[in-house]
């Protein structure tokens, strides 16, 4: 069961990582172009290094590839969860492993007690297990 939880947990912080990558992209571009905003409008003082934009393009490409990789992981998780027949289990799994919600918030939104949501979680993990691929030391399951 821990393997199932670990497989699903890959999705918990994806949105935060994508946001962080986007922020890094914006901040790097702003530093590169040395943007300043005087009262009469925006004035850009470009970099004096002619190769700086090539380096930025490579940096941006790397961020784009990582973002696409994260979206693929999220999609893989969602596809497995979609196959679970029980809507309550799907809701719980999406809230926890896709949206990254806390147990307290999930319990509140689903109108369960804290203990009740944990009990439901155990059943939801068992329900999603047949639909995921977990890499183990002995191979793929």
Q: 105-115: per-residue pLDDT in tens?
A: 999 999 999 99
- Tally of domains within the chain: 1
pLDDT level of residue 137 (50, 70, 90 thresholds): very low
Query: 133: phi > 0 → left, psi -120 to 50 → alpha, else beta; which?
Result: beta
This prediction's pTM? 0.75
Domain that holds residue 116: 2-140
Q: 45-88: per-residue pLDDT in tens?
A: 555 667 788 888 999 999 999 999 999 999 999 999 999 999 99
The residue behind tokens 């689903």 is: 110
Residue 51's alpha-carbon distances to 18, 30, 62, 133, in angstroms, are 27, 16, 17, 44
């Amino acid at each position: 069961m821990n393997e199932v939880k670990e497989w699903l947990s890959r999705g918990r912080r994806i949105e935060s990582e994508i946001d962080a990558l986007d922020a890094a992209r914006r901040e790097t571009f702003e530093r590169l172009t040395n943007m300043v905003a005087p009262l009469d409008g925006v004035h850009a003082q470009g970099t004096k290094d002619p190769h700086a934009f090539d380096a930025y393009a490579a940096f941006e490409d790397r961020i784009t590839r990582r973002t696409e990789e994260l979206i693929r992981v999220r999609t893989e998780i969602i596809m497995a969860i979609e196959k679970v027949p029980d809507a309550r289990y799907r809701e719980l799994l999406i809230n926890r492993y896709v949206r990254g919600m806390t147990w307290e918030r999930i319990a509140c939104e689903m109108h369960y007690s804290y203990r009740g949501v944990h009990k439901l979680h155990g059943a939801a993990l068992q329900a999603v297990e047949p639909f995921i691929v977990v890499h183990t030391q002995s191979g793929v399951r």
